[in-house]
Amino acid sequence: MSSIYAKGGRLYFRLKIGEKWKGLRTDFKVGQERAAGVMLEQMERTRTAGGEIVPGGPVTVAAFAKTWLERRRSEVITWKNDESALRLRVLKAIGHMRLDEVRPRHLITMVNEWKRTLAPRTIYSDYSVVSALFRDACLDDLLTSTPCMLKKRQLGPKVDKDPEWRSKAQFTTTEVRRLISDDRIPMDRRVFYALEALAGLRLGEVSGLLWRNCGVQPEHPPLGMVLVAFSYGRPFPKGNVCRPVPIHPTLATMLAEWKLHGWAQLMGRQPTPDDLVVPRVPGTSSRFGPWRRKGYVYDHFENDLKMMGLRHRRSHDLRRTFISLARSAGAMTDILRRATHKPPTEVIEGYTTYEWEVVCREVLKLRIEQETGEAIVVIPGTSAVTASGFATVLLPAAATLSSHYPKTVALPGLEPGCP
């Protein structure tokens, strides 16, 4: 077992490296046993993880980053983004340095190098990873202070790399109709895009949406409800506040059709309440789980835009489009915000809960329908029903359902829970 011993006023570590026990001289003096103990524990974790141990003192930035990422994996859903930032940019600059020797001037040099190729917002994002790493090193008693004290003067303004880009980062009503209607786009992706464009959900919120939270029947009509409760597999979305979102009639039509036919055709079985609404396509496994990750969605989205002859934009811009088009149609900002963001911090907002009909009224101001040349079948009060008897109300009374599937015409009269 590793231990600490004193010799000539200095503290030494007795540590097993490979098959042999070795004594390592440290920079700690007698009386600093507590700090030395923390360091020894960190070195043990580094050795177990295969990292490099620096005899005589703290581990390197690269060694600490390795064990830090292992903890990060269990703490944050975006740990993979942290790993990429460290591997591609941070460790190349300071990974070889001892953790306790990194100074603000080293970080300034690194950031100045980033400015040659990275967008300003990417610089801020990567620097936040560095700040978190050194903050946790301080919390582990490996450092007495963090070198991450750079401000706007060193980091630069937090702006877009292209000043003309953001004004174009939106879809028109016609483009949204095409994206959710074009049969050349697989139905699972059209539903995914509709949840962003007609409900304003973030990418992670769509990926983590479960059937039990989709089509929740509110106390009062006119619209059903999506309860945004997860981001990917993590409980609570951004802001740590679950929020109810009205299901736009066009989205309700698509979800009902997807649940009745499309989901089973994709997955080979009927959905259950605990299934993801839009899971990954079978055969496209990922070590990150069944969720559609950012890269997976963006690659397909880029290809779909090219196929349709539309210019490049991000999938996230569909959420921006939902808010922009709804407000342009007259939706009241303070009410619409309750469907897209957590409540503002003012005390009175914490005491305010808008009636469901009021929130639905603002969402209904968005006028987007699917493009189809086929007949529309009216199904009053229909519920989406599976063979297992699982029923979730997706369509309000007198809603319409596109007849892409001939079996749809046989649905009138179904009661919830019928096989």
For the stretch 186-195, pLDDT in tens is 999 999 999 9
Query: Do 38 and 90 belong to one domain?
Result: no
- Given 161, 180, 203, the domain boundary residue is 161
Query: For residue 128, is it within any domain?
Result: yes
203-212 per-position pLDDT tens digit: 999 999 999 9
Rg (CA), the chain: 27
**How would residue 124 be classed by pLDDT, with cut points 50, 70 and 90?**
very high
6-16 per-position pLDDT tens digit: 988 888 888 77
Query: Do 190 and 285 belong to one domain?
Result: yes
Query: Do 45 and 182 belong to one domain?
Result: no
Query: For residue 402, is it within any domain?
Result: no
DSSP 301: H
- What angle is formed at CA 376 by the lines to CA 226 and CA 322, rounded to 5 degrees? 35
Check pLDDT > 70 for residue 376.
Answer: no
* Distances, alpha carbon 334 to alpha carbons 120, 337, 340, 358, 394, in Å: 31, 5, 10, 11, 26
Alpha carbon distance 203, 399 (integer Å): 27
Query: Do 183 and 230 belong to one domain?
Result: yes
Phi, psi dihedral angles at 372 (to 5 degrees): -160, 140
287: domain CATH number is: 1.10.443.10
- Given 108, 126, 161, the domain boundary residue is 161
Alpha carbon distance 265, 260 (integer Å): 10
Sign of the Cα pseudo-torsion (60, 65, 70, 72, in order): positive
Query: Do 259 and 135 belong to one domain?
Result: no
Query: For residue 69, is it within any domain?
Result: yes
- Given 21, 37, 54, the domain boundary residue is 54
Alpha carbon distance 108, 66 (integer Å): 23
Query: For residue 413, is it within any domain?
Result: no
Query: Do 229 and 279 belong to one domain?
Result: yes
Alpha carbon distance 314, 304 (integer Å): 11
80 is in which domain, residue-wise?
58-161
Alpha carbon distance 154, 47 (integer Å): 36
Query: Do 149 and 189 belong to one domain?
Result: no
Query: Do 292 and 338 belong to one domain?
Result: yes
Flag the least confident range among 279-283, 381-385, 389-393, 412-416: 412-416
Q: Considering only CA atoms, which of 176, 82, 208 is closest in space to residue 133?
A: 82
Q: Considering only CA atoms, which of 333, 337, 95 is closest in space to residue 200?
A: 337
104: domain CATH number is: 1.10.150.130
Query: Do 270 and 327 belong to one domain?
Result: yes
Query: For residue 211, is it within any domain?
Result: yes
Query: For residue 411, is it within any domain?
Result: no
Query: For residue 409, is it within any domain?
Result: no
Query: Do 136 and 198 belong to one domain?
Result: no
Flag the least confident range among 3-7, 127-131, 224-228, 264-268: 3-7
39-93 per-position pLDDT tens digit: 777 667 656 655 445 444 457 898 889 889 988 888 877 788 899 999 999 999 9
**Domain count along the chain:** 3
pLDDT for position 20: 77
Query: For residue 362, is it within any domain?
Result: yes
Check pLDDT > 60 for residue 389.
Answer: no
Query: Do 8 and 67 belong to one domain?
Result: no
Query: Do 50 and 75 belong to one domain?
Result: no
Alpha carbon distance 52, 22 (integer Å): 15
Mean pLDDT across the chain: 83
Q: Can you name the residues that pair with 384 across neighbouring β-strands?
A: 392
What is the side-by-side strand order in the sheet with 20-29? 3-7, 10-17, 20-29
pLDDT for position 249: 94
275 close to 210: Cβ distance less than 8 angstroms? yes
Region 296-321: mean pLDDT is 95
